[in-house]
Amino acid sequence: MLTAFAIFTDGLVYAAYLFIVAIGLTLIFGVMKILNVTHGSFYAFGAYGAATAVGIYTNAGMPAAAGFLLMMTLAMAIGVVMGIVLERGLLRLVYGRDEVIVVLVTYATFLILEDVIVLIWGPGSYAAWQPMVAAGSIDVGALVLSNYDIILVAIAAGLAVLAYWALRFTRFGRLLTVVIFDRETAGAFGVNVTLVYTITFVIGAALGALGGAVMAPKISVTLGIGVEVIVLAFAVVAIGGMGSIEGALVGALIVGICRAAAVHLVPQIELFVIYGVMALVLVVRPYGLFVRAQPRKI
């Protein structure tokens, strides 16, 4: 029983993390049909930005809550700037090329940005555990839950609700749905598709950076953190169905719970259970769980 509860809470926390990193990826894919490998860089830059922010506010002796906000704001600002520069400066040039070619463009950018991190922050690693310690922990029965983990789950849930609301009930959300459904027709009806693309990409980039920022206190911010997160986010998005927000949520929950179960029950399979689940889901539902059937074009 205790194990089951531990699996549930660990799984939920891990799912929250996965959802935060996957939602930006799936949003960009859904609207722009770009599988954005640079998402790993957004995550890494967010984490490094957050670590810098933590350093600043710890030195200035600011209260923890303000520091947490500063950390998230700085990371998202980095994400917004990177998103604008990348979309306007580079991706614009390859729209209309093969989907796979665009993936490679983002892969090349990812490689470049990996070294930019070294140039800006150096090869050393950063610790940003202060917010996590400041948040404290609570005891639930025999288990100790970190309040920071609870905040993480709350942020993920908040993002899910926000995304649902924004897509259903805001003007931009409706426009986005139109562009997702048929880009050309939307353009013919006067929707500024170029602007929608830019805004989507910037939001996706900011979400990626936010993922890095909220995870920074839980991990050691070091080189190569983007490499791992990108394949994890891919797996989640592929399970849920690329471009589907509810798919990302379900995918994150499935992967989170499966991984937590593996960690507690059979630790040997921890590393590949995620990809095993992904392969299994894709065997049954080739295009993920939540994907609209595509018409065959002759």
Partner 1 sequence: MTMVGRHHLVGGLMFLIAAAAAPALPEWVVSLATIAFANALVVLGLVVLWRVGLVSFGQALYYCIGAYTVALTARWAGVTDAFLLVLLGGIGAGVVAFLVGFLLARYREIFFAMLSLALSMILYGVLVKTESLGSTDGFTISTPTFLGYAPHREELGLSLYWLTLAVDAIGAILVGAYFRSVSGSLAAPIRDNEIRVEFLGVSVTRIIHVKVAIAGILGGFGGALAALSIGHVDPNMAYWTTSGGFVFVTILAGAGSVAAAFVGSLAFEALRSFAYDVMPSLWQMTLGSVLLLTILFLPDGLGSLAARLRRRGEANTP
Residues that bind partner 1 (CB under 8 A): 35, 90, 93-94, 97-101, 103-105, 107-112, 114-116, 118-119, 123, 227, 231, 234-235, 238, 242, 268-273, 275-276, 278-279, 282-283, 286-287, 296-298
Nearest by Cα to 28 from 185, 234, 228:
234
DSSP 3-state of 10: helix
Of 37, 34, 48, 29, residue with least CA distance to 215:
48
The SS3 of residue 297 is coil
Comparison of 54 and 248: residue with beta carbon closer to partner 1: 248
Smallest distance from the beta carbon of 108 to partner 1, in angstroms?
Answer: 4
Q: Give the C-alpha separation, 96 to 18, whole Å.
A: 30
In the complex with partner 1, the residue whose CB is nearer, 173 or 276, is: 276
Q: Which is nearer to partner 1, 14 or 110 (CB)?
A: 110
- Alpha-carbon distance 117 to 223, whole Å? 8
Min dist CB 270 to partner 1, Å, is 8
Between CA 245 and CA 102, with CA 29 as vertex, the angle to 5 degrees is 165
Q: How far is the CB of 220 from partner 1 (least distance, A)?
A: 17
Beta-bridged to residue 126, according to DSSP, are 221
Q: How far is the CB of 275 from partner 1 (least distance, A)?
A: 4
**C-beta of 35 vs 215, nearer to partner 1:** 35
User: What CA–CA distance (Å, rounded) separates 226 from 223?
Assistant: 8
Cβ at position 230, least distance to partner 1 in Å: 8
| Beta-bridge partners for 140 | 143
CB closer to partner 1, 68 vs 110: 110
Biggest CA-to-CA distance, the chain: 65
Q: Which residue has the tokens 């089951």?
A: 4
Closer Cβ to partner 1, 71 or 91, answer by number: 91
Dihedral angle sign, alpha carbons of residues 56, 224, 19, 81? positive
**Minimal distance in Å, beta carbon 292 to partner 1?**
15
